[in-house]
Amino acid sequence: MTDQEATAIAALQEGDIQGLEQLVRLYQSQATRLAFQITANRHIAEDVVADAFITAFDRIAQYHTNRPFQPWFYRIVVNNSLKAVARGRRIGAAGEIELDQRASVSASPEDEAVRQEERDLVIEAIQRLPAKQRATLVLRYYLDMDVPMIAETLGVPRGTVKWRLYAARSKLRTSLNGESPETHAHTGGVAR
C-alpha cells in the first residue's frame, strides 16, 4: 500500500471526505478500465465504478488496513460489473465501434489493419466468455493479479479461480482455432 493510499484511507476512516476523493483520483482510471473490460460499455463502467466508490465509502469501516486495499476495492468493482452484466446490460456495439476507431501511429496501415483484426478476434472470443470467467481473466491478464489475489478479489476459492482461468483459456483456444496463436506469432501480430 502506498503512502498516498494509506493516507487517503486513514482520512476516510476518520470521516474526511477528502480521503475518498484521493482514492477516486488514485483508482478511478484503472477501475473504470476494469469495469469496462467486464461490461464492455464505457458509460456503464463509469456508473459501476462511481457506485463502487460509494459502496467503499459506506463500508470503509469494515476495511482492515492490514490488508491491501486494491483487492478489496476491486472486488466491489468486479461484483458491481457482474451485476450490471447480469441485469441485462450486455455487451453492446459501442465498445467495438470505439475500438475500430483507434489506430496505431507506429505501424503501417496494412500492418495495423492485420493486428487490429487479430486483436478483435481475441476480444470477441473474450467477450463470448461467461462474465465470471471474463472477470477472472481480466484480473489475471489485465491487472496481473496472481491466483490468491484474484480469489480474494472475487471472494471465491483459489481452485475456482484456477478452474475459471483454465476454462476461459480453453474456450479461447477453441474459439481462436481458426486464427491460432501460432499464426499470430508468425505474423508478428498479437504475440509480444
* Interface with other proteins (CB under 8 A): 12-18, 20-21, 24-25, 28-29, 32-34, 36-37, 40-42, 45-46, 49-51, 53-54, 57-58, 60-62, 64, 95-96, 98-99, 102, 118-119, 122-123, 126, 137-138, 141-142, 169, 172-173, 176, 181-182, 184-185, 190-192
Least distance in angstroms from the C-beta of 46 to other proteins: 6
Least distance in angstroms from the C-beta of 97 to other proteins: 9
Least distance in angstroms from the C-beta of 32 to other proteins: 5
Output 25 or 148, the one with its CB closest to other proteins: 25
DSSP 64-86: -TTS-HHHHHHHHHHHHHHHHHH
Q: Which element (helix H / strand E) includes 100?
A: helix 94-100
Contact 31, 77 (CB under 8 A): yes
* Three-state SS at 156: coil
Residues 6+ apart with CB under 8 A from 191: 181, 184, 185
Output 151 or 176, the one with its CB closest to other proteins: 176
Least distance in angstroms from the C-beta of 75 to other proteins: 17
Torsion of CA 18, 22, 28, 34, to 10 degrees: -120
